[in-house]
Amino acid sequence: MGKLTLILGGARSGKSTFAEMRAKELGDDSVLYVATSETKDEEMVERVEKHRSERPSTWGTVEAPRNVAQALRRERSAEKVVLLDCMTFLVANHLMDAAAPEDDPFDDPSADPFDVQIEAEVVAEVEALVAYVQEADVELLVVSNEVGLGVVPPYELGRAYRDILGRANQILARHADEVQFLVSGIPMKVK
């Protein structure tokens, strides 16, 4: 049985840096990094390259914008520490696949973003991760944004995203052995 640590915080709170430092402490040079972002524009390509260059070159990388538990099972990596960065993109990928308009994500969604099937897919993804940790001998660190502290998004897709990610975070926190919350680079142990 593995261990699950959830690392939450707002944008630029230091959560990824904290998670990478924790992964390095636990696994040294033997860490598997799971990247969930998709590079759909030049800015994201640059961000991904910057993140990649800052990680130890000895760390393995799996790109899994969806179906992370399946990707980890296929990988069958020897690393005992897995860093998933981040749940925020993973949820966004599911929502954007299902409901985002082609040309403008702030325009009317192309499908109902509150469709229960979208949330069900995300919940299944999170539950598969929890099951993976329970059956594998790994320490999984999951980075995610805490999106419930800000203003209510002014557009429907944003509100659906906030709701679904909030539910995903709740499931992870409930099953986590440890929960850390980052504020301005300072970790606070929640659980």
The domain in which residue 108 lies consists of 3-189
The full DSSP string for 117-165 is HHHHHHHHHHHHHHHHHHHSS-EEEEEEE--TTSPPPSSHHHHHHHHHH
Range with lowest mean pLDDT among 17-26, 40-49, 99-108, 159-168: 99-108
Nearest to 22 by CA among 183, 184, 169, 182: 182
Amino acid at 73: R
Give the pLDDT mean for 173-178: 98
CATH code, domain with 8: 3.40.50.300
Active-site positions read 51
pLDDT tens for each residue of 154-169? 888 889 999 999 999 9
Give the pLDDT mean for 138-153: 93
Give the pLDDT mean for 81-93: 95
pLDDT of 101 higher than 80:
no
What's the total number of domains in the chain? 1
pLDDT of 27 higher than 70:
yes
